[in-house]
């Protein structure tokens, strides 16, 4: 992708300009971001997904002016003439190649931030009410029309006691009716409310995750705990070796010097000191943070089920194909940092060599690419395992 090329998707500005001017800063309404846009799935297919118990869905409607919400799966869904309802289906990219391909248009933003494609369908008047999100979102109108009102009010207090987050006071600054192909980018904390105009409204939300500081701290500490386990030999490092060289720690606290006590409820000084000593021995470095982030951010959704490989048999270990390509399954997540490579929640047992970085960035790798000739035996063996697991597929 040429990051300086003006794109209709971003209102005829380049990814570089969009990121500099709007990302995390201010809303942007883009008319005909995708001219002639055709929805990746039909309304009937969205309803069908909402009937499945391995798909997350919600139905939102109002009854006598009161907000109501129910979680799927749904055996029955309302008809268009049954009032103003909205059906939202989460992570459609896991279930539809076309929805997953739509997500690829936004890969000028790091995959580490990309979350999912949510699709909503609504009857006339349907919406989820005025609210704000703590993440960035591109709202792409896929079918029918929706009126968006939005703004950047400071007061984000919520109505108490409701089944969904509704702003107490909504003070929109802008208003626009979006037609198919139009898109609205909203940064975190932007107040917004979208109401379907007419039946057959479909809106696609391409959402971006943003971890809280607490999540990052907890994750890093958990990874550090694994580091301690590796030191005491209870857990291997990423390639089976201890994660860190250095003094071997005892697996459990020992206190051969503990004198008899007359105050048994008092916490022993030695235990407090040993706790602090353990933390002092931890190495909070780039490798640890990358390992935590790489594994955590590539963890497949608990709703992801990989299909057994089908189609052409290929032996990546013994007989590398001269033609064809390897393609990452739409459910697979792959990231790298330096030589560290992560796929579907695991540290790969091979370094992130050029060919594997191409597979991660392009989500596909031509077998004839010169970098493939330099793949090590371990790398080929990993690729063969991923093929068996359905994480990648071979296309002739
Ligand atoms: C959001 O993704 O934040 C929305 O407001 C989408 C609501 C909808 O699609 O009805």
Q: Does the pLDDT value for residue 246 go beyond 90? A: no
Report the distance separating Cα 304 and Cα 347, nearest Å.
19
pLDDT digits (tens, 9 = 90+) for 64-76: 889 999 999 999 9
- In this predicted structure, what is the pLDDT of residue 233? 63
What spacing in Å lies between the alpha carbon of 85 and ligand 1's midpoint? 13
* DSSP, residue by residue, 101-157: HHHHTTTTS-GGGEEEEEEEEE-TT----SB--SS-EEEEEEEEEEEEEEE--S---
Mean pLDDT of 260-279: 94
For residues 204-225, give the mean pLDDT: 95
Centre of ligand 1 from the C-alpha of residue 151, in Å: 15
The two structure tokens encoding residue 58: 């919600």
Task: State the average pLDDT over residues 307-330.
Answer: 90
Residues near ligand 1 (Cβ within 6 A): 86, 118, 120, 127-128, 133, 137, 192, 194, 203, 205
Our mutation pick for probing the ligand 1 site, out of 46, 120, 172, 208, counting the most ligand atoms within 8 A of Cβ, is 120
Please provide the size of the chain in residues: 396
Taking the CA of residue 60 as reference, the ligand 1 atom at the shortest distance is 10
- Residue 96 Cα to ligand 1 middle (Å): 19
Write the ipTM: 0.97
Among the atoms of ligand 1, which is closest to the Cα of residue 186?
Answer: 3
pLDDT for the residue numbered 248: 56
């Amino acid at each position: 992708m040429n990051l300086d090329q003006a794109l209709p998707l971003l209102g005829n500005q380049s990814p570089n300009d969009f990121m500099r001017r709007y990302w995390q800063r201010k809303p942007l309404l883009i008319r005909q971001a995708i001219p002639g846009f055709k929805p990746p799935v039909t309304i009937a297919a969205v309803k069908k997904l909402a009937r499945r118990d391995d798909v997350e869905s919600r139905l939102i409607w109002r009854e006598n002016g009161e907000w109501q919400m129910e979680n799927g799966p749904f055996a029955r869904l309302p008809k268009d003439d049954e009032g103003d309802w909205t059906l939202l289906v989460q992570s459609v990219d896991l279930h539809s190649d076309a929805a997953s391909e739509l997500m690829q248009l936004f890969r000028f933003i790091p995959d580490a931030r990309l979350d999912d494609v949510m699709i909503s369908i609504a009857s006339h008047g349907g919406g989820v009410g005025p609210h704000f999100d703590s993440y960035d979102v591109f709202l792409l109108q896929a079918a029918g029309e929706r009126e968006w009102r939005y703004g950047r009010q400071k007061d984000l207090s919520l109505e108490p006691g409701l089944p969904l987050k509704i702003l107490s006071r909504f003070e929109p600054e802008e208003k626009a009716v979006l037609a198919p192909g139009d898109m609205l980018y909203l940064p975190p904390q932007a107040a917004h409310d979208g109401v379907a105009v007419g039946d057959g409204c479909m809106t696609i939300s391409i959402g971006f995750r943003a971890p809280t500081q607490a999540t990052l701290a907890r994750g890093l500490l958990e990874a550090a705990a694994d580091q301690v386990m590796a030191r005491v030999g209870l857990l291997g490092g990423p390639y089976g070796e201890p994660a860190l060289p250095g003094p071997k720690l005892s697996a459990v606290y020992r206190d051969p010097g503990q004198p008899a006590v007359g105050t048994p409820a008092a916490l022993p000084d030695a235990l407090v000191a040993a706790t602090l000593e353990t933390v002092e021995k931890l190495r909070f470095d780039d490798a640890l943070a990358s390992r935590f982030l790489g594994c955590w951010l590539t963890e497949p959704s608990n709703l992801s089920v990989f299909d057994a490989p089908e189609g052409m048999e290929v032996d990546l270990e013994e007989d590398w194909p001269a033609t064809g390509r390897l393609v990452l399954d739409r459910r697979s997540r792959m990231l790298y940092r330096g030589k560290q490579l992560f796929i579907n929640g695991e540290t790969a047992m091979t370094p992130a060599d050029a060919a594997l970085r191409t597979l991660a960035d392009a989500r596909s790798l031509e077998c004839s690419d010169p970098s493939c000739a330099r793949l090590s035996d371990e790398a080929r063996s990993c690729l063969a395992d991923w093929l068996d697991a359905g994480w990648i597929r071979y296309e002739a």
